[in-house]
Structure 1
């Protein structure tokens, strides 16, 4: 049978993802911060999309705003504005930078002139927080090191991880800096004598030992425990520690209490150069006059409109306007209108999803996590007449500010744990009960996973010990041997 190429006509139905549909889906998945970035990027790319800055301009133009406290009427009423207008007076006042000049007058004295209490400091304008490496280099700069020793010390500092531990060996230091063993060992001691105590150690045991030596406790019982019996310290095995050290249990307990209260296993962690990522809620749920009110977050989000200038150009018939120009303007105006509708639809969808969650999880907003009910995406999808994939996109990476705190929307969806003779419970609700049991337990006789399973069985909640252990690990609660304390 010979192979040949030929043309053939075929009819088929398929779903085509247009650029506009892709954009709408992408906007639906964005969280509050990413949405603000996407708005600014679209405004920069599309000249037909503008920010409305006054209530008088553009009353009859397609526009978009974000905030609402009531679901808009989807049948007859027009779309409700969601964000207040940005007033021109909101702009920052001009700053007199001469007031903040970095001047150092030799004749200036605080004894003669005291700046106002609310005057900004020059240090308020430092953009980057110094990290561990910069802090150690600043201390080394005040040490009496020659150029050769300075290079070796910098190599050691450069090989510290975020916890402050040395991630290289003396052999590597010698090989890469062409120094002797005595020089490498000496410079390592110099770095270990810097602040914070315990820095440049090879492991947790050495770090704790260095901290004890700094306070003249290098030969104490605590130093013996962290050096030779760190694994027993982690499990708080007082009986074995007493047997191996030959000391009384009360002395062991006192030494361990001192270690946990005054030493840190990771001395470099407070200086880690990591920016704090703050969660900005996408929607607020507030209780007003006994009823919950939903309001979308409208902070710093502008009100958008289609440029009237480009609309006039599109309608104008001048000899200088080419066909290509009109096509370009028409595409930009159409893209701006679609973008505005997509943003508006996104906000309405988030509102409706949050409204449905509020109906299903009303007891949670009143009583907290223990009252959380089983809920799946299909329940919300059927309630508001949308597809499950849409609900999944809406609830991903979005947060709600509720009377119970800032909570991710995904949190409200939990699998059901059946109960005999009672309503099913959500997995998160059971986790809350387990956490409460552990918080209320006798610290000298903590509850094991089996004991927790038995207590839950008494409350008609049947869980296997392995399931209890899995929930405990998900909540980052240590096992019973690490929670045990002695008087």
Structure 2
């Protein structure tokens, strides 16, 4: 066998995805706000795209209809002022713009600056700002102020100290040694001692909000109780001396240990539950999340109608001026022809892709409404099992396409604003052969727990038996899984004495 490099020719078939197909999938995936920004960007980069103005829509509709007689026309509220005639200097030479590579015509740049100016969100005050402001009001020495900044920088958004005191001390001492070397200070620089660090921690823990600077949950609760004057109360003693038993809700053991009744222990636990386990979050600088529904479902005359909420979406059309100029291909060189063809094809494809996106979303939502009609009539209990594959088969699309349509999309319904993913869930069979949604089962479990006797809470097996009486076939482990997803504690930990 001869070894070495050889060149051979051959035929083979390869399946390659068109780049425009990737872009179409991205458009389908985009929520309404992202799509709006994307279309604005396309308007800036593609000269063959332009906005459809209201007067253009009226002109198109008037061209399609017959011109009415003067007596049939409504009188305008106020006569429109005639537009001043544009002189030759004011008109834009579109032909020159196209031939010069779209760099002439000063009005286009001015239009972009005025039209696409985006407001910038101003940052608010966070926990670090709140703590720094309080420290500035204290009579701290420069040495203490330096260390206080180290503490504030190591407090996380929850209000807890994110590192140990030894790490803070070592970091501060390292900064002192580096400063001494840079300034060429003779002699030893006094480093921070463990006592100084602990004393300054007490100063930090006296700041607002109560509980800030704690190293764990137990210390956070103790700081809040101390700030409220309850350090020596039963609640303070329970947190200080029996915190593990308190978390496990072993009321009987705690009652015997402190020589009190279980009712008193539970009453103290209720007071502790009112404390804030994450005091720093109230000063969190998290941004507000606004939801704009992509679709609207309204009930009109007993029928559910579906609308696309795309009124604020830029409506695009092909620019007639640029298209007319581009037809004269003899005036352009090869590079300009390729540029014109690429941009024109991209503009046509973009308009088609947007329309395809609209039709796809409407088709998917129509099937969801037909399938989940009982939900719109009766609420969560009427929600039926639904999967992406079922919708894909019904509307004649691929399952991944339906997933992109429903991802991060919201719909405004008579039952509130809901994500499209809300309508998809697994199902359980009933004794009469029907299917019930897992979301509906969770709602039943939540209602059963909220209406139970606190002194005798329902166990998972008791919930299984109640659901089986209504015809729902469900296992105990499934009830336990749904209960955990709802954040409901086991029956032993829900019991009141």
TM-score (norm 2): 0.80
Deviation per CA, 1:182-229, whole angstroms, max 9, x where unpaired? 221121111111100111011111111111111222111111111222
CA distance in 1, matches of 2:339, 2:320: 16
Aligned ranges 1:29-428 → 2 under 5 Å: 29-56=29-56, 127-178=122-173, 179-261=192-274, 263-316=275-328, 319=331, 321-428=332-439
CA distance in 2, matches of 1:11, 1:255: 77
Structure 1, 388-397 or 191-200: larger mean CA deviation: 388-397
Specify every segment of 5 or more residues in structure 1 that has no aligned partner in the other structure, as ranges.
Answer: 62-124
Structure 1, 238-247 or 49-58: larger mean CA deviation: 49-58
Question: Match of 1:284, SS?
Answer: strand
Indicate the residue corresponding to 1:467 in structure 2. 478
Paired residues of 2:428 and 2:437 also in contact (CA < 8 A)? yes
Paired residues of 1:209 and 1:227 also in contact (CA < 8 A)? yes
CA distance in 2, matches of 1:315, 1:126: 45
CA distance in 1, matches of 2:57, 2:432: 63
Paired residues of 2:296 and 2:309 also in contact (CA < 8 A)? yes
CA distance in 2, matches of 1:409, 1:6: 54
Question: Match of 1:145, SS?
Answer: coil
Specify every segment of 5 or more residues in structure 2 that has no aligned partner in the other structure, as ranges.
Answer: 62-119, 174-191
Indicate the residue corresponding to 2:10 in structure 1. 9
CA distance in 2, matches of 1:231, 1:369: 39
- The structure 2 residue matched to 1:441, chosen from 415, 428, 452, is 452
Indicate the residue corresponding to 2:90 in structure 1. none
- Whose helix proportion is higher, 1 or 2? 2
Matched, 1:20 2:20: yes
Cα distance, 1:273 vs structure 2: 2.2
Cα distance, 1:231 vs structure 2: 2.6
Residues 187 and 127 of structure 1, relative CA distance in 2, 3 Å threshold: same
Question: Match of 2:411, SS?
Answer: strand
Deviation per CA, 1:258-293, whole angstroms, max 9, x where unpaired? 2223x2121112112221323321111111222111
CA distance in 2, matches of 1:2, 1:318: 56
Paired residues of 2:32 and 2:294 also in contact (CA < 8 A)? yes
Q: How many equivalent residue pairs?
A: 420
Cα distance, 1:5 vs structure 2: 2.5
Deviation per CA, 1:92-120, whole angstroms, max 9, x where unpaired? xxxxxxxxxxxxxxxxxxxxxxxxxxxxx
Paired residues of 2:32 and 2:310 also in contact (CA < 8 A)? no
Paired residues of 1:51 and 1:303 also in contact (CA < 8 A)? yes
Cα distance, 1:459 vs structure 2: 1.7
Residues 159 and 46 of structure 1, relative CA distance in 2, 3 Å threshold: same
Paired residues of 2:40 and 2:314 also in contact (CA < 8 A)? no
CA distance in 2, matches of 1:358, 1:289: 16
Paired residues of 2:391 and 2:402 also in contact (CA < 8 A)? yes
Paired residues of 1:374 and 1:415 also in contact (CA < 8 A)? yes
Question: Match of 1:149, SS?
Answer: helix
Structure 1 or 2, whichever has the larger Rg, is: 2
TM-score (norm 1): 0.81
Deviation per CA, 1:65-105, whole angstroms, max 9, x where unpaired? xxxxxxxxxxxxxxxxxxxxxxxxxxxxxxxxxxxxxxxxx
Cα distance, 1:59 vs structure 2: 6.0
Highest relative contact order (Cα 8 Å, sep 6+), 1 or 2?
A: 1
Paired residues of 2:329 and 2:337 also in contact (CA < 8 A)? no
